[in-house]
Amino acid sequence: MDRPPVTTASTVDRDGREWPRRLGWAALAVAVGATATFVPPLVLPDGRGLPPAATASTPPPATLPTGTTTAPVPTAPASALPRTSAPPSPTARRTPSGTPSGTLGFAAISLHAADEANLRNGARVIDCPTCDGGSRVGYIGGPNTLAIRVADVPAAGERTLTVTYETAETRTLRVAVNDGPVHTLTLSGAGDWLIPATVSLRVHLPAGTSWVRFFNDAGPAPDVNRIELR
């Protein structure tokens, strides 16, 4: 192949002198080399001057043998994941001490027959060293009565009334709550005025304050020591 002709051009300097200038393959090569010499190197944002491949190299993908398939990774259901906090425990409900099952909100009430808050119409307090509290209420019967005050009952309901009493002979005791039904009890006790005995019955106890009355309009009644309501 023939080389392109070499052309000559002239350049005039500031003094008016004309200088010859040759253009050709040699001049073109020199120009390209000068351009490559002055290209600044690539500078990364962190100033290290490293080529991009040195800081963001990506490992080649794994190659599976021919015919091998990749099984999907199973995802555990939300119920199988570990809990980050324990679930709130249910609120516990407590039954007042001494309250039998099914009578929530009602604690056992224990009252002494000789308490000053009670009403004794003709009945009298008798010293009794073997009785609960060291005394009991006697001379109940005929016109004489005893009424024990039960206050601050939170809710009305059927309760078990337990009466602690003393008698040396069989006698009749009548019991009523306020003006409610009268329960007639024939009691023999332990056969001794110094040995307490007990008897239980079911009564309806209103909410608030009420009176448990003891009497026997037909004759003498046993002495009363204490009552308990559950």
Going residue by residue through the chain (230 aa), what tens digit of pLDDT does each one get? 445 554 445 555 555 555 455 445 454 444 445 444 444 444 444 444 444 444 444 445 545 445 544 444 444 444 443 443 343 333 333 333 333 433 556 789 999 999 999 999 999 999 999 999 999 999 999 999 999 999 999 999 999 999 999 999 999 999 999 999 999 999 999 999 999 999 999 999 999 999 999 999 999 999 999 999 99
Instruction: Please indicate, yes or no, whether the overall pTM of this predicted structure exceeds 0.75.
Output: no
Counted residue by residue, the chain has a size of 230
Name the residue among 177, 178, 189, 180 with its Cα closest to residue 221.
189
Give the integer Cα–Cα distance in Å for 87 and 92.
Answer: 15
Vertex 139: Cα angle to 142 and 177 (nearest 5)? 65
Name the residue among 54, 51, 55 with its Cα closest to residue 41.
51
Cβ neighbours for 133, distance < 8 A, ≥ 6 positions apart: 112, 114, 225, 226
Name the residue among 226, 212, 213, 221 with its Cα closest to residue 133.
226
Whole-number pLDDT of residue 130: 94
